[in-house]
A and B are shown apart, each in its own frame.
Chain A
Amino acid sequence: MRYRDYLARRLLTIIPAFIGLSILIFVIARVIPGDAARLALGPEATKDQVEQLRHEMGLDLPLHIQYIRYVEEVFHGKLGRSLYTHRDVAEDLAAYLPATLELTTVAMLLAVLVGVPLGVITAMRKDKWEDHGGRLYALSGVSIPRFWIGILLQLILAYRLGWLPTTGRFDGNLPPPAQITGFYLVDSLVSANWTALGITVRYLILPSFVLALSPIAQIMRVVRACMIEQVRKGYVLNAMANGMPQNLLVYKYMLKNAFIATLTIIGLLYGFFLAGAFVVESVFSWPGMARYGVRALIYKDFNAVVGVTLAVGLAYAIINFVIDVLYGYLDPRIRLGYKER
């Protein structure tokens, strides 16, 4: 019962985040570009013509009214046209967003699935060779630039050895899986198209791995620190004294505690994934939103910038809400209201 209250409270805290986000995009869309009427009419237009258009566009209204109107428009999906693609920004997003979300989500899962066990192993083998190896990996994983690793792997695994495709999201000579959600993994699974699933996975391997490299190291280090912290806890000593089997104690009892402590970091890392996606999408010509966003910025395509900001903000908020849900699910102290996050 109290889990529901907890979820409701978490949902409420998203509201200020959205208000902030909407102000941000309003500023990008309406304030930074300058006088939209003047821009639209060009330098030849008379003062009266400009005033006329300003009135039609509602630009003469007070700022807060403009803001409310703008939020309403956005809420109805009216994001305007992209200067560059000449399509509706909402349409562009529908085309590019799933590619990015698929890439970042797969990379994130990969980072958790690899990072957590590595963290446990390096903690249990503290100061042994496994731990030193982990430390070395963490140092290089965080400090070596992603584009460099990406290009290197691309050269070796794709060009030289031909094991994996070099660029793109799907084989250009074949039809992509039936468009249902835009997530190729989901679409090929749902339509039971196993060939497409295989191809999708092959195309995902390199970019998601490159994207996950440094988060794996970060998660590994946090899990390691949390596991080492658990060793000193009373419940561990008591479980040991009472003869709890070692692997049950480590992988069930200690890991759950350590993982809860790691969850916050994973939520924060999602922003990192989105940022990293810009680089990875460029290296692997991934048809995602990151590339679209960069192009929009370069061409001062403000409608597109707004769209991308909105999408990224939403994705970030949703991921963090999911993390909150998990948090409450895993930690009874939070769910039952004994502890605040």
Chain B
Amino acid sequence: MLLFIENLHIHFSTFEGTAKVLNGVSLSIRDGERVGLVGETGCGKSITLKALLRILPTPPGRIVQGRILFKERDLLQMSYRELHAVRGCDIALVPQEPVGSLNPVFTIEEQMVDLILWQGRVNVNWGTYVATPLMGRAGRKVARAKALDHLVKVNIPDPERVLRSYPVELSGGMCQRVLIAMALASHPSLLIADEPGTALDVTTQAQILRLLKERVREEGLAILYVTHNLGVAREMSERIYVMYAGEIAETAPTNQLFSSPKHPYTQGLIASIPKLTGSELEGIPGRIPDYVSPPQGCRFQPRCEWAVPACATVQPRLRPVAAGHEVACHLHDPAFFQG
């Protein structure tokens, strides 16, 4: 197992009280597996990613419980030294927002070269840093050549110009490509993509998706692709986790999820994918519950048309219904009905 998130609970202290956002999320990714994480906005997708990259702001956030094993080692327990050897090097992130994720006052070259040269260290030695351009001109030159190479690999037509540019001089799509190049620069074994391109227009977004898919396939790396669009997740992944209000509702191999969705929420999501045949768009009425005082039992209960009385009091657990297919819903728990 490459990544194994086990029973992750994350709370936020807010003005209204403790927001119990993540409520026991478990998720696993095998080597080279393409996994999708789907859920509507605010369900806690980014929080999960931030926790595993250890960039969750704490406070206000707090990891209450859980383990995040990456190659058998708990990321949450790692020292900074160990963490820096993993973060960016073995796990890399393609962020959601392209322009804001690049430093506005440095050129792309500066940012990429520094990353290529110094990635993996907790701190740089200033002596070495200052000396790099002086004595080891070669050091920066080689890194620059590498950066150029990475830009070429993400189909940037004019990599020399892009290297010399500041983020404001580039389009959103171009920034997104640069970010993908940066993430892939270290040849990670897991790529995490947080809805890359949601801020871009549809055509560019499609290009970015195609590029990402191609790069992932070529490098043979595992990807955790996060999106609120089930259709996009279907494109990108071989297995999908459906998340609702800080819990995993259902997980299955992509084909199986679409052919026999079990959880009422998944069924609703699939029904609301816009179809080319022109059928009417069916949304799920209602919205994500308040995290400060979430529903006692199943968090989906207030919106569920199948809810039985017990749904309001007992939290359903993820349980297997078929090989590799797990659902957290009382309707699919025979034991629950037997008493």
**Contact status B100-A332, CB under 8 Å:** no
Q: Once the chains are docked, how many angstroms separate the CA of A234 from the CA of B114?
A: 18
Are B129 and A243 in touch, CB under 8 angstroms? Answer: no
A240–B87 contact, CB under 8 A? yes
Q: Judging by beta carbons under 8 Å apart, are B115 and A242 in contact?
A: yes
Which A209-254 residues have a C-beta within 8 angstroms of B?
Answer: 231-235, 237-248, 252-253
B248 close to chain A: CB less than 8 A: no
A245 to B92, CA, bound (A): 15
State the interface size on chain B (CB cutoff 8 A). Answer: 40
Contacts A239-B103, A332-B166, A333-B104; is A244 near B114 (CB within 8 Å)? yes
- A242 near B183 with CB under 8 A, answer yes
A75 in the interface (beta carbon within 8 A)? no
Q: Is the CB of A244 within 8 A of B88?
A: yes
Question: Which of A241, A245, A246, A257 is B103 in contact with, Cβ under 8 Å?
Answer: A257
A residues less than 8 Å from B18 (CB atoms): none
Dominant secondary structure at the A interface? helix
Q: From A242, which residue of chain B is reached at the shortest CB distance? A: B88
Q: Are B97 and A234 in contact (CB under 8 A)?
A: yes
Task: State how many angstroms separate the Cβ of A221 from the closest Cβ of chain B.
Answer: 22
Q: Is the CB of B186 within 8 A of A243?
A: yes
Given known A243-B186, A245-B123, A333-B168, contact A238–B105 (CB-CB < 8 A):
no
The residue that B87 contacts in the complex, of A234, A243, A260, with Cβ under 8 A, is A243
Q: A231, A241, A248, A331: which contacts B105 (Cβ < 8 A)?
A: A331
Indicate if the CB atoms of B95 and A238 lie closer than 8 Å. yes
**Contact between chains at B57 and A232 (CB < 8 Å):** yes
A182 CA / B106 CA spacing, docked (Å): 39
Tell me whether A338 is interfacial, beta carbon within 8 Å: yes
> Counting CB contacts under 8 A, is A330 at the interface?
yes
**B49 shortest CB reach to chain A, Å:** 9
In the bound complex, how far is the Cα of B106 from the Cα of A257, in angstroms? 10
Cβ–Cβ < 8 Å partners of B119 in chain A:
242-245
Cα(A274)–Cα(B124), bound, Å: 40
Q: What residue of chain A has the Cβ atom nearest to residue B56's Cβ?
A: A237
When the two chains form their complex, are residues B129 and A235 in contact, meaning their CB atoms are under 8 A apart? no
Q: Is B38 an interface residue (CB 8 A)?
A: no
Q: Is the CB–CB distance between B103 and A248 below 8 Å?
A: no
Residues of chain A within 8 A (CB-CB) of B122 are 245-246
Asked if B100 contacts A233 (CB within 8 A), the reply is yes
Are the C-beta atoms of B88 and A241 separated by less than 8 Å? yes
- Is A234's CB under 8 angstroms from B95's CB? yes
Partner of A241, one of B80, B92, B104: B92
Q: How far is the CA of A246 from the CA of B80 in the complex (A)?
A: 10
A57 within 8 A of B: no
Residue of chain B at shortest CB distance from A231: B57
Partner of A253, one of B84, B92, B106: B106
User: A336 — which chain B residues lie within 8 A by C-beta?
Assistant: 166, 168-169
Encoded as 1 (CB less than 8 Å from any A CB) or 0, chain B from 95 to 121 comes to: 101001111111100010011001111
Whether B84 lies near A243 (C-beta < 8 A) is yes
0 or 1 for each of A303-337: is its CB under 8 Å from B? (1 = yes): 00000000000000000000000000011110010
How far does the alpha carbon of A111 sit from the alpha carbon of B43 in the complex, in Å? 47
Asked if B87 and A248 make an inter-chain contact with CB atoms under 8 angstroms apart, the answer reads no
| A238 with B179: CB separation less than 8 A | yes
Q: Which of B50, B97, B115 contacts A243 (CB 8 A)?
A: B115
Q: How far is the CB of A25 from chain B (nearest CB, A)?
A: 39
Interface centre among B80, B124, B186 (most CB of A within 10 A): B124
B101 CB contacts on chain A under 8 angstroms: 234-235, 237-238
The 8 tightest CB contacts between A and B, nearest first, are A243-B88, A234-B100, A241-B93, A242-B88, A238-B101, A332-B166, A247-B123, A234-B101
| Cβ contacts A to B, 27 pairs, < 8 Å | A234-B101, A235-B101, A237-B101, A239-B115, A240-B53, A241-B53, A241-B55, A242-B87, A242-B92, A242-B115, A243-B87, A243-B115, A243-B186, A244-B114, A244-B115, A245-B84, A245-B119, A246-B80, A247-B123, A247-B126, A248-B114, A248-B123, A253-B103, A256-B105, A257-B104, A332-B105, A332-B168
Q: In the complex, given contacts A245-B124, A248-B123, what are 15 additional A-B residue pairs having Cβ atoms less than 8 angstroms apart?
A: A232-B57, A235-B100, A237-B101, A240-B87, A241-B53, A241-B55, A242-B92, A242-B93, A243-B88, A243-B89, A244-B88, A245-B118, A246-B122, A257-B105, A330-B105
